[in-house]
């Protein structure tokens, strides 16, 4: 990199340091603390700028001076506040001598704030200095001599307390004492600490010097990193230079507000359905067996009504249905066909069973309620309903899932218009141009059709099922016009759109996955 | 919807009838033919020739077997109805089953036939057993309504009696066991006794079939005798019986077996069943028996439902090659189902068979032409608007299960036994993880937060979705309402941050609201507010209580609101 492109990339802090160093005539080395003062920078700012300049080779380290510095540890501050173990032991021994009490090492070790290692170290030192004697039975006696250690320690604590001092400013004897009582590896419980303070001094490198020269020549144009309201208001931005950025760096991530990709997919389906003239229906999560199954002509002995297929509600177990007339109408159809022209299932319909509360197991329950609520004829309805199945959860079975389905009512509804509607779904929802209609079975429709489409990316897939509601369903609910019932199976399309292979991931708790899923479709 | 396994060469030989030459059929051809029977090919093993087929129609048990599928296709291909001479009534039954009084209390009906002249092959035996299992399990409601036994005819001396015995009194060696046991012991130790014994619960005497030599044939619906009721490859004289609680279903099941064995070349000999009281088919019932389900249908009804003019001839031809007997009248047809079917409740059942027989591809789709106006419900509109605003406020949308655990929805939230902790609970719990419906949204969002401490912060999450709120005044004991929940989590998350979001939301929803302090165990006291609109509570906002966060193992401050959108739009 040539010198001018280096200059262009300099941070204002770096320029400040370079200019400060360049200003000293004749050129000389700067100690870092002096440099901080001269450049009017915080120590942290200075060390950042110095590291960058060293990396760019604009300054060099001239010398590095290592100075041992003494300071008090937390323990030392405590000794300064109260007393060091050696002082306390000496006082205790003198006190015992004065009162004639026996004092043992054991007694000392049990005194609060003194631990065995403190005691043995202090007693050892005092014994060596001839201040204490250990007589028979571990008893301690004083000799009456004074202790040089104890005498020197107190003033030292006073001097070092509050601020650190250079070790060499003390006399050799005191330096030794500090050494003896400072924190070393394996012995952290000491009053003093000796650290090495590194003082570096810097000089401009030759390229640094030419950078300074060039910066000088650029005149008084100050460089700024950020355009500010002030610069704009007073127009002073004209006198500034804007530091150039390294724009090829990776952008930092930003948290964004975003729809859930699966919900976004369902929103698109919803918009499609509305655009095709469908009105939305809403239903309840808790339904009676009546609306969930009986009204759909599923006999009460139907295997899908079993305790292993549907979730039953614990409390209350049964609905308080005020209007029983519709129940008995449907019940009659189950028993002997009622007025529908059907022979019915030929079993005894249980009215109480019809009131049993369940978690909605199929979206068709919502359609059944719409049929009973004087729907428009012609009319088109849809719902995106949450349903619950008593299934072991695995990669292809969820216990809690959305069903997209609905009804179309009209005097022109027949098997061929049913196929026409499915064609429309194939084109609009799956962008498929090729379709296949296969015979299918649903308890509540006849004839029944399965819609298979060739999806542009997925190939042949089942998109949905549909049929004409059996008269046993529509007539007792008050509808005599033919009705299409349809449902779309969109989970596979959704999973492919979202790039997942496990149905459980549609409701994942992995925020990172939700945030990073693009949800293209 | 049963799934069965059949063998391709067995299927091919059934397809061509017993006398024509063998010809292989392509898999594509099989798949196309399966449309006639609402079947779907689920698997094919070219090495063993096994085909796995799922049959959709739960009202067509005759199709849940190789013979039935082949029959439906064969009729279409040959253009003529399968003839079963044993149903004409001309063959007089040579053998009798006597039903003793008392059976009507427990398992009233029996139907049976003999089959001679078909030597059982290993594939044929596998099909026989599979059909027996599928029919008893699915059509017969786990043997409750219908169960089936197959025996070596040569070992039986007629007449056979069907009667009740004390479970401790009768004994034989059941299939799958080595020693003689009483019926009571079979109920207690035999795997089938343990599985199906419940059907006989409460009966002091249980059914038994015995022959004239007092030899037990079986203990219906539990297990056959090993001596008589174990059919093997090579046997060529069989006895088939069906017992159950519904006479038409019992007879239909026997008809299916008789037709299946006849299709394989057996001569079927009907058997006379003598009841002690009169049944819907009389006191003396010859089985198999054509139940003759029939109906007269105006042609225009079929044409109207299909949306196409077909004419009597076309309809008649379509139904005949689908197995019906049809006689054409003036503007209508009289149709009779084949003896192996009984699924004719309504004209529409016949309409579908016309369509299937002709093939759905024969019908040109027509767009429904009548104009309708599309639109969203009011609550969906409000929910969509709120969702858009939340996205604008920088929140990531979440979707969660509604079915969850009381621990998540209440326990972790410190609201057990409070007015906020009431939920709709499941009676038949499979796992506690899916045992109640959520009554608010916040736990769903804390679930994400608890799992996502490594996703970069801040986290701003929301979900708008349905909840179930217990309400004794409601018909079904609960109301389904749409609730918007939102959380913010980061090191300095603060009440005013979430409050600003709520405030903005209300501004754009055009609603005046106020907050009123509320002690709510899920939130820090003094930092939680009830959201009120016109003095009616519609939600809650606050800083989540640290103990709640601890229970979720969340180590980041969280502030949140939970706002009931359904309550919000109620006109006051």
Q: Under DSSP, is residue A105 helix (H, G, I), strand (E, B) or coil?
A: helix
* Residue B373 located in a structural domain: no
Residue of B nearest to A411 (CA): B370
Residue of B nearest to A437 (CA): B360
| Statement to judge: residues B356 and B257 lie in one domain | no
What confidence score (pLDDT) does residue A219 get? 62
Rounded Cα distance, A511 and A515, in Å: 6
Last residue of a domain, one of B330, B362, B394: B362
What confidence score (pLDDT) does residue B196 get? 95
Which positions 32-51 of B are in contact with A (Cβ < 8 Å)? 35-36, 38, 40
Rounded Cα distance, A265 and B426, in Å: 30
Pairing of strands B436-437, B514-517: unpaired
The domain spanning residue B194 has which CATH number?
A: 3.50.40.10
**CB neighbours of A53 closer than 8 A, spacing ≥ 6?**
A14, A17, A18, A59, A208
Task: Closest CB to B476: pick one of A277, A319, A376.
Answer: A319
* Residue B369 located in a structural domain: no
To the question of domain A74-190 being in CATH 1.10.3720.10, the answer is no
B469 neighbors B437 (Cβ within 8 angstroms):
no
Please give, rounded to a whole number of angstroms, the shortest distance from the CA of B312 to a CA of chain A. 18
**B280 has a chain A CB within 8 A of its CB:** no
CB–CB of A258 and B397 under 8 A? Answer: yes
* Residue B318 located in a structural domain: yes
CB–CB of B368 and A253 under 8 A? Answer: no
Rounded Cα distance, B298 and B105, in Å: 43
| Statement to judge: residues B275 and B217 lie in one domain | yes
Task: Closest CB to A416: pick one of B306, B376, B434.
Answer: B306
Averaged pLDDT of chain B: 94
Q: What token pair was written down for B352?
A: 């579908």
Q: Under DSSP, is residue B368 helix (H, G, I), strand (E, B) or coil?
A: coil
What confidence score (pLDDT) does residue B110 get? 97
* Residue B397 located in a structural domain: yes
What confidence score (pLDDT) does residue B388 get? 97
| Statement to judge: residues B283 and B142 lie in one domain | yes
**Taking the CA of residue A275 as centre, how many other CA atoms within 13 Å lie in the half-sphere pointing to its CB?**
10
Task: Closest CB to B374: pick one of A279, A311, A484.
Answer: A279
Q: Which residues of A touch B402 (CB under 8 A)?
A: 285, 386, 388, 400
* Beta pairing partners, B483: B465, B564
Task: Closest CB to B346: pick one of A340, A378, A414.
Answer: A340
* Residue B368 located in a structural domain: no
Q: Which residues of A touch B380 (CB under 8 A)?
A: 270, 280, 282
pLDDT for B526 beyond 80: yes
Which residue range(s) make up the domain with B46?
3-78
**Interior angle at CA B411, CA B409 and CA B412, nearest 5:** 80
CATH fourth-level superfamily of A262-516: Bira Bifunctional Protein; Domain 2 (3.30.930.10)
The domain tally of chain B equals: 4
Last residue of a domain, one of B327, B362, B397: B362
Q: What token pair was written down for B205?
A: 């005497």
The region that residue B49 occupies, defined by phi over 0 for left and psi between -120 and 50 for alpha, beta otherwise, is left
What confidence score (pLDDT) does residue A520 get? 65
**Quick one: which of B390, B472, B85 has its CA closest to B268?**
B85
C-alpha of B167 from chain center: 34
Q: Which residues of A touch B372 (CB under 8 A)?
A: 277-279, 376, 378-380
* Residue B196 located in a structural domain: yes
Task: Closest CB to B425: pick one of A262, A314, A380.
Answer: A314
**B26 has a chain A CB within 8 A of its CB:** no
CB–CB of B376 and A284 under 8 A? Answer: no
Q: What token pair was written down for A420?
A: 């026409």
Rounded Cα distance, B151 and B211, in Å: 12
The domain spanning residue B511 has which CATH number?
A: 3.30.930.10
Rounded Cα distance, A187 and A160, in Å: 20
CATH 1.10.10.10: which residues of chain A? 3-65+199-218, 74-190
**Interior angle at CA B121, CA B159 and CA B126, nearest 5:** 85
Rounded Cα distance, A14 and A511, in Å: 41
Rounded Cα distance, B197 and B221, in Å: 9
| Statement to judge: residues B279 and B305 lie in one domain | no
Rounded Cα distance, A202 and A24, in Å: 12
| Statement to judge: residues B139 and B208 lie in one domain | yes
**Quick one: which of B21, B91, B10, B84 has its CA closest to B48?**
B10
CB–CB of A273 and B400 under 8 A? Answer: no
| Statement to judge: residues B329 and B448 lie in one domain | no
Q: Which residues of A touch B1 (CB under 8 A)?
A: 441
Q: Which residues of A touch B57 (CB under 8 A)?
A: 441
CB–CB of B355 and A439 under 8 A? Answer: yes
pLDDT for A149 beyond 60: yes
What confidence score (pLDDT) does residue B79 get? 85
Residue of B nearest to A318 (CA): B476
Which positions 246-275 of A are in contact with B (Cβ < 8 Å)? 253, 255-260, 262-263, 267, 270, 273-275
Q: Which residues of A touch B392 (CB under 8 A)?
A: 257
Mean pLDDT over A356-382 rounds to 96
- What are the pLDDT digits (tens) for A400-455? 999 999 999 999 999 999 999 999 999 988 888 899 999 999 999 999 999 999 88
Mean pLDDT over B172-195 rounds to 94
Rounded Cα distance, A379 and A411, in Å: 10
**CB neighbours of B431 closer than 8 A, spacing ≥ 6?**
none
- What are the pLDDT digits (tens) for B45-96? 999 999 999 999 989 999 999 999 999 999 998 888 888 988 887 888 999 9
Q: Count Cβ neighbours within 10 Å for each residue of B303-333 and write b for 16 or more, e otherwise.
A: bebbbbebebebbbbbbbbbbbebeeeeebb
**B466 has a chain A CB within 8 A of its CB:** yes
CB–CB of A482 and B306 under 8 A? Answer: no
A495 neighbors A425 (Cβ within 8 angstroms):
no
The more confident residue out of A33 and B444 is B444
| Statement to judge: residues B243 and B392 lie in one domain | no
* Residue B370 located in a structural domain: no
pLDDT for B227 beyond 70: yes
| Statement to judge: residues B182 and B150 lie in one domain | yes
Mean pLDDT over A375-390 rounds to 95
**Interior angle at CA B553, CA B547 and CA B558, nearest 5:** 65
| Statement to judge: residues B208 and B331 lie in one domain | no
- CA distances to B100, B205, B356 from B164, rounded to whole Å, are 8, 6, 46
Q: What token pair was written down for B338?
A: 């084949």
Q: Which residues of A touch B31 (CB under 8 A)?
A: none
Rounded Cα distance, B102 and A56, in Å: 106
**CB neighbours of A450 closer than 8 A, spacing ≥ 6?**
A437, A438, A439, A440, A462, A464, A465
B512 neighbors B535 (Cβ within 8 angstroms):
no
Q: Which residues of A touch B455 (CB under 8 A)?
A: 511-512, 515
Rounded Cα distance, A39 and A56, in Å: 19
Give chain A's end-to-end CA distance (angstroms, integer). Answer: 47
| Statement to judge: residues B397 and B270 lie in one domain | no
Q: Where are the alpha helices (DSSP H) in A143-287?
A: 148-160, 172-180, 206-217, 229-233, 261-275
Interface test with A, best of B136, B252, B345, B485 (most A CBs within 10 A): B345
**CB neighbours of A90 closer than 8 A, spacing ≥ 6?**
A126, A131, A142, A147, A150
**B459 has a chain A CB within 8 A of its CB:** yes
- What are the pLDDT digits (tens) for B237-288? 999 999 999 999 999 999 999 999 999 999 999 999 999 999 999 999 999 9
- What are the pLDDT digits (tens) for A466-475? 999 999 999 9
Residue of A nearest to B368 (CA): A417
| Statement to judge: residues B346 and B197 lie in one domain | no
- CA distances to A256, A275, A290, A515, B541 from B553, rounded to whole Å, are 25, 46, 43, 22, 21
- CA distances to A127, A320, A443, A466 from A475, rounded to whole Å, are 112, 24, 16, 19
Residue B508 has a CB neighbour count (10 Å cut-off) of 13
- Structural fold of domain A3-65+199-218: Arc Repressor Mutant, subunit A (1.10.10)
Q: What token pair was written down for A341?
A: 């022209």
Q: Which of A391-395, B21-25, B316-320, B382-386 has the lowest mean pLDDT?
A: B21-25
A313 neighbors B424 (Cβ within 8 angstroms):
yes
Averaged pLDDT of chain A: 88
Please give, rounded to a whole number of angstroms, the shortest distance from the CA of A373 to a CA of chain B. 15
Rounded Cα distance, B557 and B545, in Å: 9
pLDDT for B530 beyond 80: yes
The more confident residue out of B116 and A12 is B116
- CA distances to A371, A468, B523 from A409, rounded to whole Å, are 9, 10, 50
Last residue of a domain, one of B362, B388, B403: B362
**CB neighbours of B523 closer than 8 A, spacing ≥ 6?**
B540, B542, B543, B544, B545
Give chain B's end-to-end CA distance (angstroms, integer). Answer: 51
**Interior angle at CA B543, CA B539 and CA B548, nearest 5:** 95
What confidence score (pLDDT) does residue A186 get? 61
Q: What token pair was written down for B365?
A: 């789709």
Q: What token pair was written down for B273?
A: 């069943």
Percentage of chain A beyond pLDDT 70 is 98
pLDDT for B19 beyond 50: no
| Statement to judge: residues B120 and B165 lie in one domain | yes
**Interior angle at CA B443, CA B438 and CA B449, nearest 5:** 145
* Assembly ipTM: 0.92
The domain spanning residue B347 has which CATH number?
A: 3.30.56.10
What confidence score (pLDDT) does residue A107 get? 79
Phi, psi angle pair for A497, to nearest 5°: -60, -35
The more confident residue out of B113 and A37 is B113
CB–CB of A359 and B349 under 8 A? Answer: no
What confidence score (pLDDT) does residue B44 get? 94
What confidence score (pLDDT) does residue B572 get? 53
**CB neighbours of B301 closer than 8 A, spacing ≥ 6?**
B347, B351
CATH 3.30.930.10: which residues of chain A? 262-516
Q: Under DSSP, is residue B214 helix (H, G, I), strand (E, B) or coil?
A: coil
Q: Which residues of B touch A256 (CB under 8 A)?
A: 394, 396
Q: Which residues of B touch A515 (CB under 8 A)?
A: 396, 455
Rounded Cα distance, A495 and A62, in Å: 65
Task: Closest CB to B402: pick one of A285, A424, A509.
Answer: A285
By the 10 Å C-beta count (0-12 exposed, 13-18 middle, 19+ buried), B412 is classed as buried
Which positions 430-469 of A are in contact with B (Cβ < 8 Å)? 437-441, 443, 446-449, 468
pLDDT for B571 beyond 70: no
B316 neighbors B329 (Cβ within 8 angstroms):
no
Residue A279 has a CB neighbour count (10 Å cut-off) of 21
Confidence of residue B20 (pLDDT cuts 50, 70, 90): very low
């Amino acid at each position: 990199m040539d010198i001018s492109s280096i200059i262009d990339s300099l941070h204002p802090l770096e320029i400040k340091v370079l200019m400060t160093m360049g200003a000293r005539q004749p050129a000389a080395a700067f100690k870092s603390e002096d440099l901080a003062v001269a450049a009017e920078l915080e120590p942290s700012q200075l060390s950042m700028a110095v590291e960058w300049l060293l990396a760019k080779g604009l300054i060099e380290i001239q010398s590095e001076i290592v100075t041992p510095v003494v300071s008090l540890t937390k323990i030392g501050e405590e000794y300064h506040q109260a007393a060091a173990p050696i002082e306390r032991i000496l006082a205790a021994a003198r006190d015992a001598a004065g009162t004639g009490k026996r004092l043992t090492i054991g007694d000392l070790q049990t005194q609060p704030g003194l631990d065995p290692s403190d005691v043995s170290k202090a007693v050892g030192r005092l014994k060596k200095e001839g201040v204490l004697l250990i007589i028979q039975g571990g008893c301690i006696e004083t000799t009456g001599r004074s202790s040089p250690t104890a005498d020197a320690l107190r003033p030292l604590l006073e001097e070092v307390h509050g601020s650190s001092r250079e070790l060499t400013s003390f006399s050799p004897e005191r330096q030794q004492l500090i050494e003896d009582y400072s924190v070393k590896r394996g012995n952290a419980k000491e009053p003093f600490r000796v650290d090495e303070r590194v003082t570096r001094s810097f000089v401009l490198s030759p390229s640094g010097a030419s950078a300074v020269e060039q910066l000088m020549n650029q005149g008084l144009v100050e460089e700024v990193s950020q355009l500010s309201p002030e610069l704009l208001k007073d127009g002073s931005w004209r006198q500034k230079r804007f530091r150039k950025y390294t724009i090829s760096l990776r952008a930092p991530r930003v948290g964004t507000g975003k729809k859930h990709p699966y919900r976004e997919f369902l929103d698109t389906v919803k918009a499609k359905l509305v655009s095709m003239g469908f009105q939305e229906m809403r239903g309840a999560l808790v339904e009676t067996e009546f609306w969930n199954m009986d009204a759909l002509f599923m006999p009460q002995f139907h295997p899908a009504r079993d305790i292993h297929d549907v979730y039953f509600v614990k409390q209350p177990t049964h609905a308080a249905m005020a209007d029983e007339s519709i129940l008995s109408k449907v019940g009659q159809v189950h028993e002997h066909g009622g007025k529908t022209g059907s022979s019915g299932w030929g079993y005894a319909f249980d009215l109480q069973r019809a009131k049993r509360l369940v978690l909605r197991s199929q979206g068709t329950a919502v359609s059944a309620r719409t049929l009973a609520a004087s729907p428009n004829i012609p009319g088109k309805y849809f719902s995106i309903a949450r349903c619950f199945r008593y299934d072991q959860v695995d990669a292809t079975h969820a216990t809690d899932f959305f069903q997209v389905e609905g009804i179309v009512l009209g005097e022109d509804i027949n098997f061929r218009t049913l196929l026409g509607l499915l064609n429309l779904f194939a084109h609009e929802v799956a962008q498929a141009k090729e379709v296949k209609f296969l015979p299918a079975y649903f308890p509540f429709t006849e004839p029944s059709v399965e819609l298979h489409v060739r999806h542009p990316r997925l190939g042949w897939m089942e998109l949905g099922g549909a049929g004409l509601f059996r008269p046993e369903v529509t007539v007792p609910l008050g509808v005599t016009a033919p009705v299409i019932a349809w449902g779309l199976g969109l989970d596979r399309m959704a999973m492919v759109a979202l790039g997942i292979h496990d149905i459980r991931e549609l409701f994942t708790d992995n925020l990172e996955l939700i945030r990073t899923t693009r949800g293209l479709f | 919807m049963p799934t069965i396994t059949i063998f391709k060469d067995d299927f091919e030989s059934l397809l061509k009838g017993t006398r024509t030459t063998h010809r292989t059929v392509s898999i594509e051809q099989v798949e196309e033919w399966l449309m006639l029977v609402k079947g779907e090919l689920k698997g094919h093993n070219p090495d063993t020739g096994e085909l796995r087929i799922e049959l959709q129609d739960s009202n067509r048990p005759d199709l849940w077997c190789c013979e039935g599928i082949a029959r439906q296709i064969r009729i279409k291909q040959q253009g003529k109805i399968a003839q079963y001479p044993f149903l004409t009534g001309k063959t007089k039954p040579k053998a009798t089953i006597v039903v003793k009084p008392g059976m009507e209390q427990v398992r009233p009906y029996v139907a049976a036939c003999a089959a001679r002249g078909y030597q059982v092959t290993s594939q044929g035996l596998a099909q026989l057993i599979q059909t027996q299992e599928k029919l008893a399990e699915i059509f017969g409601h786990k043997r409750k309504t219908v169960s089936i036994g197959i025996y070596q005819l040569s070992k039986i001396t007629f007449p056979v009696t069907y009667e009740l015995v004390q479970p401790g009194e009768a004994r034989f060696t059941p299939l799958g066991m080595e020693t003689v046991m009483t019926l009571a012991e079979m109920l207690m130790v035999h795997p089938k006794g343990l599985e199906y014994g419940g059907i006989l619960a409460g009966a002091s005497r249980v059914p038994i079939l015995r022959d004239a030599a007092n030899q037990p044939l079986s203990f219906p619906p539990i297990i056959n005798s090993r001596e008589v009721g174990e059919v093997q490859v090579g046997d060529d004289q069989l006895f088939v019986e069906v017992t159950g609680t519904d006479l038409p279903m019992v007879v239909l099941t026997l008809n299916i077996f008789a037709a299946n064995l006849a299709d394989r070349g057996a001569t079927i000999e009907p058997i006379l069943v003598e009841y002690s009281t009169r049944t819907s088919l009389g006191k003396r019932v010859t089985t198999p028996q054509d139940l003759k389900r029939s109906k007269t249908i105006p042609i225009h009804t079929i044409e109207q439902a299909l949306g196409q003019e077909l004419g009597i001839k076309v309809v008649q031809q379509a139904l005949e090659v689908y197995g019906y007997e049809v006689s054409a009248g003036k503007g209508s047809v009289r149709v009779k189902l084949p003896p192996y079917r009984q699924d004719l409740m309504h004209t529409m059942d016949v309409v579908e068979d016309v369509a299937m027989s002709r093939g759905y591809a024969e019908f040109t789709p027509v767009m429904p032409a009548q104009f309708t106006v599309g639109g969203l419900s009011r609550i969906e509109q409000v929910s969509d608007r709120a969702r858009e605003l939340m996205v604008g406020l920088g929140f990531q949308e979440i979707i969660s299960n509604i079915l969850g655990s009381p621990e998540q929805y209440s326990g972790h939230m410190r609201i057990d036994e409070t007015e906020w902790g009431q939920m709709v609970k499941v009676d038949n719990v499979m796992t506690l993880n899916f045992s109640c419906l959520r009554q608010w949204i916040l736990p769903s969002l804390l679930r994400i937060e608890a799992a996502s401490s490594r996703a970069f912060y801040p986290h701003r999450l929301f979900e708008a979705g349905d909840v179930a709120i217990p309400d004794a005044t409601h018909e079904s004991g609960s109301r389904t309402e749409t609730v918007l929940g939102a959380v913010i989590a980061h090191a300095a998350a603060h009440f005013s941050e979430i409050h600003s979001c709520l405030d903005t939301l209300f501004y754009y929803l055009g609603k005046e609201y106020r907050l009123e302090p509320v002690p709510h165990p899920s939130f820090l006291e003094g930092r939680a507010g009830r959201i009120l609109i016109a003095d009616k509570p519609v939600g809650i906002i606050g800083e989540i209580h640290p103990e709640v966060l601890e229970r979720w193992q969340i180590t980041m401050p969280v502030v949140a609101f939970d706002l009931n959108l359904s309550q919000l739009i109620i006109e006051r």
